[in-house]
Amino acid sequence: MKTNSLGAMVMAVFLVIVGLSCNDKKEVSYDDAVATSGTVTPVDFPKLDIPGFNFPEDSTAIYGWIFDNDFDQMAKHSWGIWTGLTSPTSFVCGGDTLLVYETWLTPDEIIDSIQGGYEMRCGQAKLNKPQQIIHAENKTGIFDDTNSPESVSYSPAAADYAIDYKIFMETTLAGYLAEGRTKIPDFPNDAITIKPVFKVIPQDSLNSDGLFAFPAWHGPISTVEAYPETAWGSCVYVDVNNTASGDGSMDMDCSGPTPQTTYNLTDFIYYIIDADNAEYFNQQFDQIDAKAGDYVILVGMHVTTREIGRWVWQTFWWASDPNNPPAPSNKTYADLRPTEYMHGAADHYAVALAYSMVLPAQPMTSGESVGDTLIAFNPYLEAGFGPQVFTGSNSYVVKNGDTIRTDAGVRTNCMSCHAYAAYTPITSGTPYTGDAYVDLNDEIFKNGLKLDFAWSINSNIVKDSAAVAKILKAYKPD
């Protein structure tokens, strides 16, 4: 990631020292080899001197916030997590100082480690088409492809867990199912999984002034339907020469740049793509021809931590006016940013929270989808989904006797949808759902294996049909 201020550089020195002192104390199973020049070792979440912030936080404290509806405390905690993720490390690759999250292993790299073939990389993780976009394409037959790649990653604690349990191997999951288990072993409470999502800015797409038109989120629609980027109609303009002075405004009809609607590349967390990753990106997407030297900007990130039984969920996205962001964020959340601890472009993002499925929070089992909705989605990941994508029957919340439909991307909740993550080799699978209560003893999980809310496991299973058939031969479904 490129930095853009002396303050960021000073903070980088401080956080590198803190991060390394923490990292030296922890041995990780994928780091048996000694890191050498040109390689990156995954960095632990750093210790942060933010008043009142702890990671991992005691679960009883978080449950207290949830049941007291203390959204201020939840937002402060989520911002602390964001600060740690976007802290600079000591690793520099291709001129980029890597942030903490940029050093973490992807599922492919974890699988390579399980199979004994992992080689530590230098630089950024490969960019893939988001699995949820593939899911939408499979459900609708067509999806408005906006070329937003992702690079799912696991923190060192989460990666250790995945390696130790061989959790991406189908033989492992089938074995658990054959033993009569209903869920995989729990991730540790300091595990973090993330889904960063990006936009590639090809240099040949810039206008003569070095500007790129970027679709800017202005807020959701009120109707229950898909709302893809092509329908937003709103833009900002990214100046790769960093001479801009945007004031929080956006161009509501994408008619052309003005000084007020033009922002610097350094207002985004970004990096410059190399030849190998550009080639890999072009294999996934066919509407953009990426080349080495093109810019890649971070437009959003789902972040989840295993600090409570149903995980803590927050999602971030770039906002033109981060001090007064549109829904599903709000000014109250923005005002709680620890700006004195955040660094550079990281302060230009908004947050939405999902510490429960609905309001008030329901128990893990035997609850009801009643009360009020708790909407938390990422505009650059879910907004384009319409009712066809949500095939479950429970995408609703009953409020004061009225049923509120939630089967659209702009009415989703991270926790609700991820509750359905499961391995289901002998059933038709589990659905995507809008904001709703999901009972973890629901009949839909019968003859399946719950994946501790991790769709990233379901999306990266290493298949072994012959071995799994033998394992499940003696399995007697209910």
Mean pLDDT score, 233-260:
97
What is the pLDDT, as a whole number, of residue 141? 56
In this structure, what is the dihedral angle of CA atoms 266, 234, 323, 242, given to the nearest 10 degrees?
Answer: 20
| β-pair type (262-264, 235-239) | parallel
298: helix, strand or coil: strand
Residue 143 pLDDT class (50, 70, 90 cuts) = low
Residue 326 pLDDT class (50, 70, 90 cuts) = very high
d(CA 352, CA 333): 8
Highest mean pLDDT among 33-37, 120-124, 443-447 belongs to 443-447
Residue 289 has pLDDT above 50, yes or no: yes
d(CA 47, CA 285): 38
Distances (CA, A) of 257 to 43, 83, 201, 217: 39, 31, 17, 16
User: What's this model's pTM, rounded to 2 decimal places?
Assistant: 0.91
Place of tokens 């007064």: 324
How many CA atoms does the CB half-sphere of 325 hold within 13 Å?
A: 26
What is the pLDDT, as a whole number, of residue 130? 80
Place of tokens 């080689």: 119
For 21, phi then psi, to 5°, come to -65, -35
d(CA 199, CA 387): 26
What is the pLDDT, as a whole number, of residue 94? 79
Residue 32 has pLDDT above 60, yes or no: no
Short-list 245, 128, 247, CA closest to 197 = 128
d(CA 221, CA 411): 10
404-419 burial, b at 16+ Cβ within 10 Å, e below that, comes to bebbbbbbbbbbbbbb
What is the pLDDT, as a whole number, of residue 90? 92
Residue 28, C-beta contacts closer than 8 angstroms, at least 6 positions apart: 42, 156, 159, 160
**Domain range summary for the chain, segments of one domain joined by +:** 6-351
User: Per DSSP, what are the bridge partners of residue 403?
Assistant: 398
Contact between 90 and 16 (Cβ < 8 Å): yes
Residue 14, C-beta contacts closer than 8 angstroms, at least 6 positions apart: none
Work out the mean pLDDT of the chain and round it to a whole number: 89
Contact between 320 and 236 (Cβ < 8 Å): yes
Residue 419 has pLDDT above 50, yes or no: yes
Q: Peptide bond before 328: cis, by omega within 30 degrees of 0?
A: yes
What is the pLDDT, as a whole number, of residue 1? 59
Contact between 472 and 442 (Cβ < 8 Å): no
What is the pLDDT, as a whole number, of residue 35? 34
Residue 19 has pLDDT above 50, yes or no: no
Residue 40 has pLDDT above 50, yes or no: yes
Residue 285 has pLDDT above 70, yes or no: yes
- Report which of residues 25 and 77 the model is more confident about: 77
Residue 38 has pLDDT above 90, yes or no: no
pLDDT in tens, 84-141: 999 999 999 878 899 999 999 999 999 999 999 888 888 899 999 887 766 656 666 5
What is the pLDDT, as a whole number, of residue 475? 86
For 473, phi then psi, to 5°, come to -60, -40
Asked whether the CA dihedral 230, 233, 236, 240 is positive or negative, the reply is: positive
What is the pLDDT, as a whole number, of residue 14? 33
Contact between 289 and 282 (Cβ < 8 Å): yes
Q: What is the CA radius of gyration of the chain?
A: 22
Mean pLDDT score, 141-157:
80
Short-list 380, 312, 306, CA closest to 349 = 380
Residue 269 has pLDDT above 60, yes or no: yes
What is the pLDDT, as a whole number, of residue 144? 54
Place of tokens 């038109």: 213
What is the pLDDT, as a whole number, of residue 4? 40
Distances (CA, A) of 198 to 179, 222, 239: 40, 26, 17
Residue 22 pLDDT class (50, 70, 90 cuts) = very low
pLDDT in tens, 185-204: 999 999 999 999 999 999 99
pLDDT in tens, 334-348: 999 998 898 789 999
The Cβ of residue 191 has, within 10 Å, a number of other Cβ atoms equal to 24
Angle at 306 between CA 304 and CA 312, to 5 degrees: 50
Which of 123-127, 334-338, 400-404, 410-414 is predicted least confidently?
Answer: 123-127
The Cβ of residue 400 has, within 10 Å, a number of other Cβ atoms equal to 8
What is the pLDDT, as a whole number, of residue 119? 84
In 27-109, beta strands by DSSP E: 88-93, 96-99
442: helix, strand or coil: coil
pLDDT in tens, 349-373: 999 999 999 999 999 999 999 999 9
